[in-house]
């Protein structure tokens, strides 16, 4: 009996140059999962379908994932994209239609990332390609390049999540929150990792994702343990620093900020946190999201809703200076008492 090959030829039509060609696809019956890693990287026993998930046109090097490659391009994009790719030819011909070595796999992802950047795809789509490129570098054994790709993936996942947490590339909101936490953990930024794993565990839809819930709890515990033994491994100075020496603009401080900065600031005290389930109104959540978005748009660093809430409470504690509202029996009455105490400080 003749053994069926793990591969078969699949025909594609390039949406950019209209060339018809074939590329290898992997039969699902020949895919055997060996191990799943905590950042969604799958180690296969035998052929790895991820290695053949990027389709590259042999004529113009337009590249995209196999489920998006055939999507038609708008006419106003075709001319500019064709001209751009024409200016960036490969150093030497590469046959992507045959079985791929790891260096060919990595090149296919680099071409897909380049194409995605030229097309200005949504950040979630680009983040997925960068994450997969990080996996391939891990398989190759290039830990430095892996680190750079994962850092870039985190940056774009954060951008995508802030724009629309409902769909982040091909991930759900729960999966996206988890992978952000995992990528922070791999940067040794334990504070943000714990925060995002918390967001995952307490997400309203978490029960639909039992595997993600277990992973989030396991990684939350790991981040907590590492933070105790390695508390100063990650500082605000390198928080979410762009990889590959990407330059970012800095915003000059206002005179009020400069004046405040001239005063000596006491070193912040380390505080233990406790979990407490809080139910908020939709308009309150929307307001918190607006604050998060404002901070991210100016600094390109994420300060989550939980951190914003803690900061608001700290500000109230400082402003009230030990004075507490009394004589209230409803949220509205408490709001009035708080406003009265704050007004009395003016």
> Under 8 Å CB-to-CB from 24, ≥6 apart: which residues?
7, 8, 9, 10, 52, 97, 98, 99, 100
C-alpha closest to that of 85 among 55, 38, 117? 117
The pLDDT assigned to 28 comes to 93
What pLDDT digit, counting tens, does each position of 303-340 carry?
777 788 888 998 988 888 888 888 888 888 888 888 88
CB 242 within 8 A of CB 248: yes
The pLDDT assigned to 268 comes to 46
- CA–CA gap between residue 311 and residue 341 (Å, rounded): 19
Give DSSP secondary structure letters for 31-65.
Answer: --EEEE-TTS-EEESS--GGGG-EEE-TTT--EEE
> Under 8 Å CB-to-CB from 111, ≥6 apart: which residues?
54, 56, 61, 63
**What does the mean pLDDT of the chain come to?**
84
Burial of 340 (C-beta count, 10 Å sphere; 0-12/13-18/19+): exposed
Q: What's the start-to-end Cα distance of the chain, in Å? A: 89
CB 153 within 8 A of CB 134: yes
pLDDT per position in the chain (346 positions), as tens?
A: 667 899 999 999 999 999 999 999 999 999 999 999 999 999 999 999 999 999 999 999 999 999 999 999 999 999 999 999 999 999 899 999 999 999 999 999 999 999 999 999 999 999 999 999 999 999 999 999 999 999 999 999 999 998 875 678 889 999 999 999 999 999 999 999 999 999 999 999 999 999 999 999 999 999 999 988 775 454 333 444 333 333 323 333 333 333 333 444 344 455 666 556 567 776 787 788 778 778 766 775 667 777 888 889 989 888 888 888 888 888 888 888 888 888 887 6
Question: E-assigned strands of 251-327?
Answer: none
- CA–CA gap between residue 175 and residue 193 (Å, rounded): 14
What pLDDT digit, counting tens, does each position of 31-82 carry?
999 999 999 999 999 999 999 999 999 999 999 999 999 999 999 999 999 9
Q: Residue 171's beta-bridge partner residues?
A: 168
Question: E-assigned strands of the chain?
Answer: 7-13, 20-26, 33-36, 42-44, 54-56, 63-65, 167-168, 171-172
């Amino acid at each position: 009996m003749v053994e069926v090959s793990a591969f078969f030829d699949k025909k594609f039509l390039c949406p950019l140059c209209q060339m018809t060609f074939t590329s290898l696809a992997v039969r699902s019956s020949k895919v055997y999962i060996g191990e799943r890693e905590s950042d969604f990287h799958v180690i296969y026993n035998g052929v790895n379908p991820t290695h053949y998930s990027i389709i590259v046109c042999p004529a113009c090097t337009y590249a995209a994932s196999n489920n998006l490659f055939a999507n038609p391009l708008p006419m106003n994009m075709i001319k500019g994209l064709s001209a751009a790719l024409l200016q960036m030819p490969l150093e030497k011909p590469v046959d992507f239609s045959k079985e791929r070595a790891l260096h060919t796999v990595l090149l296919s992802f680099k071409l897909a990332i380049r194409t995605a950047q030229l097309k200005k795809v949504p950040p979630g789509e680009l983040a997925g390609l960068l994450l997969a490129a990080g996996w391939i570098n891990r398989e190759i054994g290039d830990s430095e390049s892996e680190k750079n790709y994962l850092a870039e993936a985190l940056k774009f996942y954060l951008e995508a999540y802030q724009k629309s947490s409902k769909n982040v590339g091909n991930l759900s909101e729960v999966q996206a929150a988890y992978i952000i936490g995992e990528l922070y953990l791999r940067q040794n930024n334990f504070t943000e990792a714990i925060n995002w794993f918390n967001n995952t565990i307490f997400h309203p839809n978490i029960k639909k994702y039992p595997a993600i819930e277990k992973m989030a709890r396991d990684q939350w515990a790991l981040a907590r343990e590492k933070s105790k033994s390695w508390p100063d491994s990650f500082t605000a100075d390198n928080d979410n620093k762009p990889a590959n020496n990407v330059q970012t603009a800095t915003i000059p401080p206002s005179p009020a900020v400069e004046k405040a900065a001239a005063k000596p600031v006491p070193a912040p005290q380390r505080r233990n946190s406790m979990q407490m389930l809080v139910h908020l109104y939709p308009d309150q959540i929307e307001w918190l999201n607006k604050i998060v978005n404002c901070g991210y748009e100016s600094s390109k660093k994420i300060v989550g809703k939980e951190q914003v809430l803690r900061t608001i409470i700290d500000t109230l504690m400082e402003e009230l200076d030990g004075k507490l509202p009394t004589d209230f029996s409803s949220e509205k009455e408490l709001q009035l008492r708080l406003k009265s105490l704050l007004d009395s400080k003016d």
